[in-house]
Amino acid sequence: MIRRFSIKQVAERTGLEEAEIRYYENAFREFLTFTEMGLDKNDFTEDHIAILTRIKELIYKRGFTIEEVKRELKATISDIRAKIPVPVRGSNYARVIAITSGKGGVGKTSIVVNLAVTIAQTGRKVAIFDADLGLANVHILMGIKPRFNLAHLIQNDFPLEDIITRGPLGIQIISGGQGIRELANLTDEQRRILLRQLDKLEQDVDVLLVDTGAGISENVLRFAAFADEVIAVTTPNIAANADCFSIIKILLEMEPNSKIGLLTNMASDCYEAKNVFNKLQAAVRKVLNYELNDLGYLVNSEQMRVATEQRRPVVFAYPHSEITRNFRDIVDTIFNTRVFVNERKESSFADLMGALKRSMTSSPRAVAI
């Protein structure tokens, strides 16, 4: 006997509004059949709920158009109706942490590289997505040279595994490459290929670090807003702090549930770093009514400059240095579940991929979620 559900029950199980359900019934009527099951328009089955859930994921999380969703459903509808799970959000997906800054020159990319290495040293599987499209330089600081980047995946149909460059400790690096502007005009099929390929990555790693560009450009804000947690990097410099406040403000306007931690780089000592945090915390608390997380600091280090010139992570070049100890302390804080885990948002990898898609298509309609 077919179990039947009311539209109210479907709304509760899918998180959709009843009006949205009715709209999807009409838009996807070839998939949401009723008469052949002896049902009327007020009855729904488990199949309908599974299909509606998938439609919601593709539109809300992936940014798919109606036609793209139809093509995706045609390819997977038999699996859905056979009750074979389609990959959705879950605990088996990587934690997505975006590292951003209000201005350039604060050492953001060096921090990403050394955080990745330090996290990998704890036994976790790590990937870096260099989302500074067109100006990607993570690979430079890793001392490696990728043969391929996202352009090869899109334009030459390379599989994801072929564009991933393996760094030390098995760290996987996806480079945005140079000349990424060539990816601005993708076909629908190319975008679907990209999303499907990148979705595979999150199921293969524990942590995905996203190195955004600096500033408050649309690309930076999209990537940062969709991450599970955001690390905002600043320095004791007054201008850097002002710019950091600005990006925190805009991020919270875009995503009120953001979990934002502050990391102070180039500090003379812990007291200067704490002073930087306290001043920004006071401003954010007063103006934005928000509590930042203090993730720690990195000492102003000649060793970091030398390691960067040598294209080596400082935690490798100087494993017993103060700055290496700083990185270990920061990683301990990041993985302290009582300090820096966002419990107000679901894992956001699919959102992140949707942001990538929208940033490449430059479509005005795609900016809104």
For the chain, residues classed under CATH 3.40.50.300 are 95-361
For the chain, residues classed under CATH 1.10.1660 are 7-81
Per the CB < 8 A criterion, the answer to whether 51 and 57 are in contact is no
- CA 148 from centroid of its chain's CA atoms: 21
What lies within 8 Å, CB to CB, of 262 at 6+ separation is 231, 232, 234, 244, 276, 277, 280, 281, 292, 293, 294, 295
Buried b (16+ CB within 10 A) or exposed e, 116-141: bbbbbbeebbbbbbbbbbeebbbbeb
Fold of the CATH domain 95-361: Rossmann fold (3.40.50)
Please tell me the predicted confidence (pLDDT) of residue 217: 58
Please tell me the predicted confidence (pLDDT) of residue 345: 60
CATH architecture of 7-81: Orthogonal Bundle (1.10)
Give pLDDT tens digits along the chain (369 positions).
Answer: 456 778 888 887 788 888 888 888 888 888 876 544 445 556 788 778 888 888 888 887 677 888 888 888 887 766 555 544 333 334 456 788 999 887 778 888 899 999 999 999 988 999 988 776 555 577 777 877 777 777 777 677 777 788 888 888 889 988 776 555 554 444 555 545 555 666 667 667 889 898 886 656 555 666 676 778 999 999 999 999 999 999 899 888 888 888 999 999 999 999 999 999 999 999 999 999 999 999 999 999 999 999 988 889 999 999 999 999 999 999 999 988 777 877 666 555 555 555 554 554 444 333 322
d(CA 47, CA 229): 34
The 3-class SS string of the chain reads CCCCECHHHHHHHHCCCHHHHHHHHHHCCCCCCCHHHCCCCCCECHHHHHHHHHHHHHHHHCCCCHHHHHHHHHHHHHHHHCCCCCCCCCCCCCEEEEEEECCCCCCHHHHHHHHHHHHHCCCCCEEEEECCCEECCHHHHHCCCCCCCHHHHHHHCCCHHHHCEECHHHCEEEECCECHHHHHCCCHHHHHHHHHHHHHHHCCCCEEEEECCCCCCHHHHHHHHHCCEEEEEECCCHHHHHHHHHHHHHHHHHCCCCCEEEEEEEECCHHHHHHHHHHHHHHHHHHHCCCCEEEEEEECCHHHHHHHHCCCCHHHHCCCCHHHHHHHHHHHHHCCCCCCCCCCCCCCHHHHHHHHHHHHHCCHHHHCC
Please tell me the predicted confidence (pLDDT) of residue 295: 96
What lies within 8 Å, CB to CB, of 333 at 6+ separation is 261, 295, 296, 339, 340
HSE (CB half, 13 Å, CA atoms) of 250? Answer: 19
